[in-house]
Structure formats: structure tokens, C-alpha cells
Amino acid sequence: MPSWRRFMTFSEYRKNDATALAALVKKRSVSPAELLELAVDRFEAVNDRLNAVVSTRLPAARAEVEGCEPWGPFSGVPFLLKDLAMEIKGSPMSCGSRSYRGYVSDHDSDLVAAARRSGLIVFGKTNTPEFGITPYTEPSALGPARNPWNTMHTPGGSSGGSGAAVAAGIVPMASASDGGGSIRIPASNCGLFGLKSSRGLLPFAQDGWGGGVVEGCLSRSVRDTAGYLDAVSGSTGFVSALSKGPPEHLRIAFSTAHPFADDGLTVHEDCVKAVHEAMRLAQSLGHHVEEVSLPWDKAVYERDFLPVLFVSTVEEVARARAVRGGKLRARDLEPNTALMAQMGSRIDAAAYTEALSRWTELAARFAAVYEGFDLLCVPSLAEPPARIGQFASPAAEALAVRAASRLGLAGLLMRFGIVREMAQRVFGYMPFTPPANMAGLPAVSLPLGTSASGLPVGVQFIGPQGSDELLLRFSAAVETSAPWFDRVPELQDRTFTGPWSSQ
């Protein structure tokens, strides 16, 4: 039996990223079992206030650490899976939906198998909105995930549970996915590092939402994300790229203009300030910065993004129906989800392919920007973290949506502009993240700003197709110059005493 030093404290655990914890395991300075129990203790201490973790597999995880050999890049490091399309044998998967109640996975998905081969110890799954559709995590089936920086605010979505768990110190890193900002939004709201990789980078990942979805992680350090990409992509190049040092003399374009400015929307001053401070930092690192116009306008959301999302929701509902043995009741889905599926069923193949062709046109507009610049900087979000319930429909609208979703009257809501109003509320909050998904580009959210009320504010950098390595090297240089790792929430806000329950 190996000889291990015992009694790491939570403070020591939290001061190490996943890479450092794995190094301690390799040196036999700490045991995988001890790390797991530290993670479980923290989960038990804070999850009733956060609702970040929605299921656990503690007996299986405890059995796995007993046979854990310290050879993988993340051997012995506790880990959580986003509970959306991430299957691990013998564990439930909810996808944030009542329609999956009772479902237990009979296999590991390819990405999960790759993560486990790296030595990660999966002990639970994190909260997500129904089918990962929204930029906030408030599923009616499971209750809202809450932000450790202030539990009255959202950690974002759709990887909100993962963001809350990492920010709260339950795990140093957790799985996430991004189809319209779902890695970068929680990274921004929770003070974390989040990379949405280039389309097609991960061979084991599903290609959802017309190719817009990519898998990844949320972490507190650039090197952890680089290591995770290496582990699940089969590459060995992302961590080694960091040793090349910072990129020099980059040309960085930036904008803080709101795409819905014509409708009277503006970017919050805290988010504008964060971008401007990031540009001053970039200049201090020897880079050239220049303000430009955005390479997209508000038409891309309703005309180009929503049709693909609606059709993809039809597919998600079909999967849920199969899980329920072909019988899906109205109460198995949230009204908004059912409405989106109805909208998707009205879109024919020609309209769908036309929307996707405009994604390619958007990529060309980005490419024109990159003829003169290396990176584009924009806010991660147009506002600081939203309050829980901020995007809930007013009573009359909610009643109309519920009725339309049950009676098949989605077209009526379209005709009266209700769907457009609902969409603009959401896209007005997150106008800067979907374009990178549509164009297939890599993008990062860096935790560089703070709101006037002390909440994290992210700054986003978008690179050309395939520039993931450049983004990681640039992010590492920023991390060194403006360290964020030790900025963590204290979880002193006890206004929410949970656990949240749903009938």
C-alpha cells in the first residue's frame, strides 16, 4: 500500500488548482481519498445554499479512489459533470428536465470516459436549465442554482451549477458546454476562466445545435483548462503551448457597443469599464488596441440563431419522449421549452439550412476583422450577474405561453410579437456570446472586472478559427499580470437558506 501524508485542510485544498493537486498526488503528499473527502465536505457545507450539485455517486467515487494510480494528468482530482448529455454508467441524468426522471445511464459517454482516463474522480453532477437552453440555471424540476458571490444572483447558464461549484471551492474544475455562451457566461458571473474552443476541436464531443455546441470545462486557472483540453482531445499541445511564453505585439480590436442599441439598449457601465481596463492592461503588455464596429448586428439572433435553437429543441424533446417510452405529458416539459419545440416544428428544411448558411456568412465577416487584428475584445455579458428570476415572464405573458404550449398556438405568439419580446430580454443580456458559436470561433471569458456591488464581471476575447493556443497563451499572460486565482467568494450571504424544493 502507498504511504500518504494526511490531513490537508480545506484552505490548502482551495489554494491549489487541479494541476497542483494532481502533482501532490503524484508525490504522495496527499491521497485521492483525502481530496475526495475534502470535496464532499465542502459540498455538504455549501450546496444547500447553492443548489449547484443535483446528484452524487459517492459510493462509486470512494471505490474508485482506492484503486487510483497517480499516473494521469489529473489523477485523484475530484470532478463534477454538467448534468446535460454527460452520461456516466450507473448514475442518473436529468438534463434539467422532469422528462428524464428515473433515467439512469447504462454507459459512459465518450467525453466522460476520456476525462476519467485522465484520472479525474467524478462524484456528482451539476445543475443545468432544461436541455441547456437558457443563460441562467433555474430549471423548474430542480430549482435554481445560486451564485456563491451573492446567492440572490444567478451563476449563469447553462453550465451554472458547474460555475457555482468551482467558485465555491467544491472542486477546482468541472465540466461545462457552450452552445451560445454557456461556458463563458458562468465564467463571467462566477469569476472563473472559461474557454469555448474552436468548432471540431474535441473529437469525442457531440455536435449539437448545428455545430454551435462545444464541450469544455470551467476552472480557476488557464493551465487547468489547457490540461483538460489535452486530456479530452487526445492532444498534448495545449499545456506545452503555455511554455512558449506570452504572444507579443498582438493587434486587439475592441467594442462595447450593444447590438440592440437601436432599441435603446446599452452595455452596463461596469461591463464597459471592465473592457476598458482590459485594454489598458493589454497595452501595458505591449499590444496594440483599437476600437472597431462589431462584425454582426441584431439580426443574427432572431433570424439566424433562433431557428437553429428551435429545431434543436425539437430533437431534445424527441429524445425525452423516447426516455419516457414514447409518452410525454405536458407537465414533463417547461412551457417555454414546449413552445420552442413547437416553433421548431414549423421551420422547414430550407429555412433551417438558410439559417446555417448565414452562420458561414457571419464567419466571413469575422474573418474580415482578423485580416487587420489578431483578437476581438467585447464584454462577456451586457450586465453584471442577473438576479434570480430576472428573466421570468410577467404573469400575463406566462399564462399566454402556458396556454400556447399546450394548445399548439406558437404561431399566435409569434404574430403578436411575444416570442420576439421574450428573446430580446435574453439576448439583450447576452448579446456578445452566441456569434462565436455561430462562426465556430474560439473565445474566452477572463475574470478581470468587478461590479459596483462586488460581483464578478468577465471580459471576452474572440480569436480566429483554430487560434485556441493563441488565446490560451494570451490568457496566461493576463493571468500573470492581473492574477485572479485568490479572489474567491466567502459565502457569507445567508439570505437563502434552502434547500430549494419543487412540487
pLDDT in tens, 232-244: 988 879 999 999 9
Q: 82, 196, 273, 298: which is the annotated catalytic residue?
A: 82
Give me the pLDDT at residue 498, please: 36
Q: Report the alpha-carbon distance of residue 199 to residue 343 in Å, rounded.
A: 26
Cα separation, 487 vs 264, in Å, equals 34
Q: What is the pLDDT of residue 503?
A: 24
List the domains of the chain with CATH numbers: 19-248+467-481 (3.90.1300.10)
Q: What is the helix (H) or strand (E) element at residue 81, kind and residue range? A: strand 78-82
Residue 453 is a catalytic residue: no
Query: Region 2-13: what's the mean pLDDT?
Result: 76
pLDDT at residue 3 tops 80: no
Strands, E, within 133-262: which ranges? 173-178, 193-196, 214-219, 251-254
- Choice among 75, 94, 99, 182 that is catalytic: 182
10 Å CB burial of residue 246 (0-12, 13-18, 19+) is middle
- The type of residue at 114 is A
Q: Which of 91, 97, 99, 158 is catalytic?
A: 158
Q: Distance of CA 75 to CAs 116, 236, 444, Å? A: 9, 16, 26
CA 439 to chain centre: 18
pLDDT score at 5: 53
- Smallest CA-to-CA distance from 51 within 204, 165, 159, 188 is with 165
pLDDT tens profile 69-128: 888 999 999 999 999 999 999 999 999 999 999 999 999 999 999 999 999 999 999 999
DSSP letters for 370-392: HTT-SEEEEES-SSSPPBTTTTP
The model's confidence at residue 157, banded by pLDDT at 50, 70 and 90, is: very high
Q: Is residue 4 over pLDDT 60?
A: no
Mean pLDDT over each residue of the chain, to the nearest integer = 94
312 pLDDT above the threshold of 70:
yes
pLDDT-derived band at 501 (thresholds 50, 70, 90) equals very low
Please give the average per-residue pLDDT across 33-46, as a whole number: 98
> What is the percent of the chain where pLDDT is above 90?
89
Over 60: is that where the pLDDT of 8 sits? Answer: yes
pLDDT (mean) for 137-144: 98
Q: What letter would DSSP give residue 203?
A: T
Quick one: which H or E segment has residue 22?
helix 18-26
Q: How many residues appear in the chain?
A: 503
Q: What is the pLDDT of residues 436-469, one digit of tens each?
A: 999 999 999 999 999 999 999 999 999 999 999 9
Is residue 459 within 8 A of residue 232, CB to CB? The reply is no
Checking if the pLDDT of 210 tops 80, the result is: yes
pLDDT of 389 > 50? The answer is yes
Pick left, alpha or beta for residue 102 (phi over 0 → left; psi -120 to 50 → alpha; otherwise beta). Answer: left
Catalytic annotation on 159? no
Given this model, what pLDDT does residue 281 score? 99
Angle at 357 between CA 354 and CA 363, to 5 degrees: 150
Among 248-262, 355-369, 481-495, which is the least confidently predicted range? 481-495
pLDDT in tens, 248-305: 999 999 999 999 999 999 999 999 999 999 999 999 999 999 999 999 999 999 999 9
pLDDT given for residue 502 in this prediction: 29
* Contact criterion met (CB below 8 Å) for 169 and 76: no
Rounded CA separation 235/198 (Å):
14
* Residue 206: per-residue pLDDT: 61
Backbone φ and ψ for 372, nearest 5 degrees, come out as -115, -5
Q: Tell me the C-alpha distance between 46 and 68, whole Å.
A: 27
3-state secondary structure of 39: helix
Q: Collapse the DSSP code of 178 into the 3-class scheme (helix H, G, I; strand E, B; otherwise coil) and give the result.
A: strand
Decide: residue 278, CB within 10 A, 0-12 exposed, 13-18 middle, 19+ buried.
Answer: buried
Do 216 and 176 contact (CB within 8 A), yes or no? yes
**Backbone CA torsion sign across 236, 238, 243, 248:** positive
Distance (Å, whole) CA 490 – CA 187: 17
Q: In this predicted structure, what is the pLDDT of residue 494? A: 45
Q: Looking at residue 67, what is its pLDDT? A: 85
H helices within 371-467, ranges in order? Answer: 395-407, 410-415, 418-429, 434-439
Q: How far apart are CA 93 and CA 91, in angstroms?
A: 7
DSSP 300: I
Q: Under 8 Å CB-to-CB from 495, ≥6 apart: which residues?
A: 151, 152
- Cα 249–372–376 angle (5° rounding)? 75
Q: Count CA atoms within 13 Å of residue 347 on its CB side.
A: 25
CA–CA distance, 236 with 69 (Å, rounded to integer): 20
Q: What is the pLDDT of residue 411?
A: 87
Quick one: pLDDT band at residue 6, thresholds 50, 70, 90? low
